[in-house]
Structure 1
């Protein structure tokens, strides 16, 4: 067998950085040695893995097919080294977790505290993004597990329903709609809405839940984070639909108010993700069970 893990590591590094020069710094080799390793890999597979676009190397179809398999093999090798070395030589375990923004900012810190209590030698890497980004990274074996705010559309992932989240229609305390005893559906449709970007789990669920009742949302503005949305709402600008996790503090101190409407309660599920072919290390198993037993 001519294929080896070092070649796969270099292949992934070239994909991540876009050039053999940058990849060489990442894997602590010379540029010539990095280029030679890529050439050896392509020769052993008898195919090109990258298109040469100017000075950049861009994955072609063959490279895209190899990438998740290469990451999976490197991931398994890393866990074997971590799990089988004597404790004195390898005192730490490693875990890479991704979370969509609401979970990452408000739920994950509580989980991390409990995980660190249970596994004090754990080295944890956390990636925050929108739900679509996190699912994609888990699918590519770049993350061991993910926590997202919307159903998953990646066929190769196991998505386990997790927490039930309450979504609230909110506005600043001085907004005209916040002064009304009940806001009609027509007024909601005509309101100025602040919503997350496409790909956000909150955006996907808000549209799914609201449009069945309102049919249309008139004026919409996309804002890249829930934190930015709620701080804009406080200024009396617009209305939004956000998780209770996000707005709880501002509801408590009166800066935001829940709009009284005839809509039924709006809820969604959070989901736990891992690849169906993922090697389940001791650290990942501990994290998974901790999530399953987690309550507010």
Structure 2
């Protein structure tokens, strides 16, 4: 049996894209070349890996069992190519590449200072920080595209290891001159709320802490980023419930104010998400303040 990395690349791309045409576009291959690579892989394994449903290819049980090992193989091959290339070009110490996925509040407001501290103490470290909403981060963890993910809401996907990281205080804010000194629950329920999109950990956290008191948002406006919500709130477009870390700058400038309400103090749990097949480098543990045994024996 002679299996190639290209065959595994094709297999993983088809699993992600659902068709040979879409996978071929991702890999810069023709559809016929992509189909031929998959057919040869299935022939050598003596087993189909997909169910053919119309034009779509859906992983069967054998394909699902091979998907994670195939992803891990491709990640390892990429790392080996990078290290070999650096070794040819530079006789000095090899760079330490850490891949981290983070949802927007964590990536924009909590991690930059930690990354800066790591790079001061570990000059050879390189941090690849991918920022998206919580659903995007979980997908990157599942696909072994990052070493760890940090998210602002619970993880609903099975097969991943999820640990609590730290607490994050939430505050209700508005333009400094647009709200009374105190707002009761009825006033909060009538207000326009500035919300993130579904799939965002911030959106899920806001619904969890506010809806038990308000029951529903009578009026809302959806915006695609925390920065957009901050600026919209500062412009007087409505109320926002955000991480205290995210709004600290505009509060200090006087553009936003924390609204005094009857809602009890609010916070949310931030989470670390890991794929069981992914080893976590010690410097990444140090970056996040994780104990050595956080994930048990790897």
- Does 2:91 align with 1:93? no
- Does 2:14 align with 1:11? no
Question: Which whole-Å CA distance do the structure 2 matches of 1:226 and 1:254 have between them?
Answer: 18
Deviations 1:163-207 (A, max 9, x none): 2111110111121xx2x2221011001111111111111110111
Pick the aligned partner of 2:287 from 280, 285, 290: 290
TM-aligned CA deviation for residue 128 of structure 1? 1.2
RMSD: 3.0
TM-aligned CA deviation for residue 129 of structure 1? 1.0
Question: Which whole-Å CA distance do the structure 2 matches of 1:48 and 1:271 have between them?
Answer: 34
Pick the aligned partner of 1:22 from 22, 25, 28: 25
Deviations 1:87-140 (A, max 9, x none): 948822322211101111111222221232333233432221111221122022
| Pairing of 1:239-250 with structure 2 (within 5 A) | 239-250=239-250
Q: Is the 8 A contact 2:83 2:94 kept in 1?
A: no
Deviates more, 1:33-42 or 1:140-149: 33-42
TM-aligned CA deviation for residue 279 of structure 1? 2.8
SS at match of 1:105: helix
Question: Which whole-Å CA distance do the structure 2 matches of 1:48 and 1:273 have between them?
Answer: 28
- Does 2:148 align with 1:127? no
| Pairing of 1:36-185 with structure 2 (within 5 A) | 36-45=36-45, 46-47=47-48, 49=50, 58-62=56-60, 66-78=66-78, 88=91, 91-175=94-178, 178=179, 180-185=180-185
Q: Is the 8 A contact 1:169 1:241 kept in 2?
A: yes
TM-aligned CA deviation for residue 16 of structure 1? 6.0
Question: Which whole-Å CA distance do the structure 2 matches of 1:94 and 1:206 have between them?
Answer: 34
TM-aligned CA deviation for residue 21 of structure 1? 4.6
Q: Is the 8 A contact 1:136 1:154 kept in 2?
A: no
Change in Cα spacing, 1:171 to 1:7, as seen in structure 2 (3 Å) is: same
Change in Cα spacing, 1:169 to 1:112, as seen in structure 2 (3 Å) is: same
- Does 2:224 align with 1:227? no
Structure 1 unaligned runs (5+)? none
Change in Cα spacing, 1:131 to 1:36, as seen in structure 2 (3 Å) is: same
Change in Cα spacing, 1:21 to 1:139, as seen in structure 2 (3 Å) is: closer
TM-aligned CA deviation for residue 13 of structure 1? 4.5
Deviations 1:267-294 (A, max 9, x none): 11111111123233xxx32112320269
TM-aligned CA deviation for residue 142 of structure 1? 2.0
- Taking structure 1 as the reference length, the TM-score comes to 0.82
TM-aligned CA deviation for residue 81 of structure 1? 6.8
Structure 2 unaligned runs (5+)? 292-298
Change in Cα spacing, 1:206 to 1:20, as seen in structure 2 (3 Å) is: closer
